Structure 1
Amino acid sequence: MKDAMTPAPLNLRQLLRNATQQLHAVGIEAPQREARLLMAHAARTDLAGLLRIDTLSEAAQARFAEMLARRLRYEPMAYITGQAGFWSLDLAVSPATLIPRADTETLVEAVLDHLPDRNIPLRVLDIGTGTGCLLLAILAEYPRAFGIGTDLNPQAAALASFNATHNGLAARSTMLCCNWADGVEGPFDLVLSNPPYIPHADLATLMPDVVAHEPARALDGGPDGLIAYRALARVMPDLLAPGGLGVLELGIGQNHSVPALMRAAGLDIVEIRPDLGGIGRALVVKK
């Protein structure tokens, strides 16, 4: 017989309703879905598995309450769960890196279209690799490719190495902690980069999830948002093999300024590919 003081098991529906209301009150988009994702992670299951349970254990309830409190402070979901999906990959994430975004998959799509032979032995460089998402997505698609990822942050480089191992790509990748491509010898068939490109004055206008939690160094593109692109324009001509491709992520309104920098560096503009929102997102250049 249960002790009369033992609390009744908590009902998931009520917990979800309460969490959804709290998330909605602070302006979180899709609060019901976010509440379900948090609960699934706390219960150590997925959304489908959540449908098969009615109550949470005390330990899972405590995890859910702690995770919900973090989300109510606008901490990104990916940092709370420690993981994010990108392309076909499951990636670990941390506050040392930007969270991979669907818009960045536009760069992967551009590479696949311009290099349709999946069996070519590409030599790939990803400058500012972060989680390693771009480099690892390319290696997953080109089984004979080898790649190097660089990042100024040693924690990011270590995380990218972990992600390479976790996705079975460590044997074909090396992650280095360095400034841009210092000490890296080319030539490369493909150079990738998702650099910091947000003008400094615009940082304060970003969503609270981003401005308060994601690393400013990976976002801040300087007064005009172009500091990183100027650095890339200086090094890419020497890093690319003849006929090699560079694929760079662009920010809003950079469709003219960044191509102009690349042309001045002697690179040909091949394409500016829009993302699903119609924003020019992937700049493809060629040596």
Structure 2
Amino acid sequence: MTILVIAEHDNASLKAATLNAVTAAAALGGDVHVLVAGSNAAAVAQAASQIAGVSKVIHADGASLENALAENVAAQVLQLADGYSHIVFPATASGKNVAPRVAAKLDVAQISDIIKVVSADTFERPIYAGNAIATVQSSDAKKVITVRTTGFDPAAASGGSAAVESVAAVADSGKSSFVGREVTKSDRPELTAAKIIVSGGRALGSDEKFQEVLTPLADKLGAAIGASRAAVDAGYAPNDLQVGQTGKIVAPELYVAIGISGAIQHLAGMKDSKVIVAINKDEEAPIFSVADYGVVADLFTAVPDLVKTL
């Protein structure tokens, strides 16, 4: 049994989600290969070869793969699919874009968002916004899987010594073209990779207060800033800061929820955090049901006091 993990990268460095996917793949019990599909991405292939538990890196390098267009990456995966029993993607925006195409072409059912490997054909995945865990068994000869990265610890980025094998890149499908990319730049850690996250909710009242209250605390902690859907819908924060079922799934070492009531959709995105601190003046707020530490207080007093103490 051999498993193929599809690496996520920017042609210069590996994304952290790849390491979590490798851990999930290793739990399947076979040899783990990693596909690096990109352009001028030799440094990425070399980094992938150092991941503990990886036995081979397949490097496909060509202009058609430069911008990770889903049609071209899927074609590259399908070209290699015959040699693998499992094809594993991180459950990121990129992975979710490519994996269904691969599953459809292979005529198999995709197994999405797994959080545990029970055996080579049986997996656990959350349903109903994380309120229930489904155990899914697949009899398909090939299994196309997406991995919820918060469900698996990252594999060690060093210690491996896998061989790197080059393969020809697929031709451009011609079905889509890359027009441009606008990337949000921030001095803060990227939300899904941050070890500490400070999140604000609708109780902050305005975008000015959102920044005024959260920024000093985030600066003190070296944290990323997140937001509930209610805060985003109210215009207090941009969409890319949203944490929850319809936002980003996070599991930092420390999650500080400020003025967030704890709607089920928000809890689905952050309840796997190692330590959760909630600050809310409503002692009946659902967020306290998952919090390790809860402060029932006015956030406009409690947070500045906390910043002074730090």
Query: Do these two structures clear the TM 0.5 threshold for a shared fold by scoring above it?
Result: no
| Structure showing the higher helix proportion among its residues | 1
TM-score (norm 1): 0.27
| Structure showing the higher strand proportion among its residues | 2
TM-score (norm 2): 0.26
